Amino acid sequence: MDISIDDLSGVEIQTLLTEHLEDMHTASPAECVHTLDLTGLKMPNITFWTVWEGNQLFGCGALKILNDTHGEIKSMRTTSAARNKGVASTLLRHILDSAKQKGLTKISLETGPQDFFAPARKLYEKHGFTESGPFSNYKLDPYSVFMTKTL
Q: Which residues contact 66 (CB under 8 A, 6 or more apart)?
A: 45, 72, 108, 135, 136
Give CA 48 to chain center in angstroms.
9
Domains of the chain: 2-150 (3.40.630.30)
Side-by-side strand order, sheet with 2-5: 2-5, 46-53, 56-65, 70-78, 106-111, 145-150, 130-132
Over its length of 151 residues, how does the chain's per-residue pLDDT go in tens digits?
Answer: 999 999 999 999 999 999 888 877 778 877 878 888 899 999 999 999 999 999 999 999 999 999 999 999 999 999 988 888 999 999 999 999 999 999 999 999 999 998 989 999 999 999 999 999 999 999 999 999 999 999 9
Element (H, E) at 25: helix 11-27
pTM: 0.93
- Digit-coded pLDDT (tens) for 74-118: 999 999 888 889 999 999 999 999 999 999 999 999 999 989 899
